[in-house]
A and B are shown apart, each in its own frame.
Chain A
Amino acid sequence: EAGVTQSPTHLIKTRGQQATLRCSPISGHTSVYWYQQALGLGLQFLLWYDEGEERNRGNFPPRFSGRQFPNYSSELNVNALELEDSALYLCASSFVGGARGEQFFGPGTRLTVL
């Protein structure tokens, strides 16, 4: 069974640009979560999508947004990039909705903002 996949693996942008990150959950999983892992800060919860809708979001500004498609894949968009947005962005999926089920993580997208 294929795991959670993310693309691209690495992304380099300049300040002010927009970044789009993609995630495909495990087949049969309807919930997708996005996290930011910056050095020294652990994992910060960004967004949770379930059945195509945004169910919850962490304490991030509105320039962090996303969506979930009918096939449950998801996209994270970061507008007006700032230097401090440089981090590893992890996507996770789960079968049980909400923050109550085991989450399976993808390998992440390393975003570098210059």
Chain B
Amino acid sequence: GQQVMQIPQYQHVQEGEDFTTYCNSSTTLSNIQWYKQRPGGHPVFLIQLVKSGEVKKQKRLTFQFGEAKKNSSLHITATQTTDVGTYFCAGTNRDDKIIFGKGTRLHILP
């Protein structure tokens, strides 16, 4: 079946370093959403990308949607301890089904 692969599974970074997580779909997506889940918490919506090649920024976070609408990335500049958590991408396929990546767990080393 259709998959959304997300890498890396885990990432340890020193506080102040940058962090990037990538999502790749086997088929074209109509949109992609990004969520953050803090340890013990529930997913919280970050952003939605719809257009091919779209780039959106939220303070230190930069989100990209690929030209073919099959891949996406989330980049965090100068990580802080508050960035700790698991970042999920969620793609919507042409059957209107939502497929979540398995997430990237970010650990920040002080």
Contacts and interface: CB of A to CB of B under 8 A. Distances in A.
Nearest to A40: B102
Interface stretch (B12-20, B57-65, B72-80, B92-100): B92-100
B86 to A, nearest CB: 9
Contacts of A35: 100
A43 B101 CA distance: 8
B102 A104 contact: no
Interface stretch (A10-18, A21-29, A52-60, A70-78): A52-60
B90 interface: yes
Contact of A99 (B41, B92, B101): B92
A42 interface: yes
B48 A56 contact: no
A40 B88 CA distance: 13
A105 interface: yes
A43 B96 contact: no
Chain B interface secondary structure, helix, strand, loop or mixed? Answer: strand
Contact of B96 (A42, A44, A99, A104): A99
B109 interface: no
Contacts of B44: 105
Contacts of B103: 42
Contact of B98 (A45, A102, A105, A107): A45
B42 A59 contact: no
Interface of B: 1, 6, 30-31, 33, 35, 41-45, 48, 88, 90, 92, 95-103
17 contacts: A41-B102, A42-B100, A42-B101, A42-B102, A44-B100, A48-B96, A56-B96, A90-B43, A92-B43, A99-B30, A100-B31, A100-B48, A102-B33, A102-B48, A103-B43, A105-B35, A105-B44
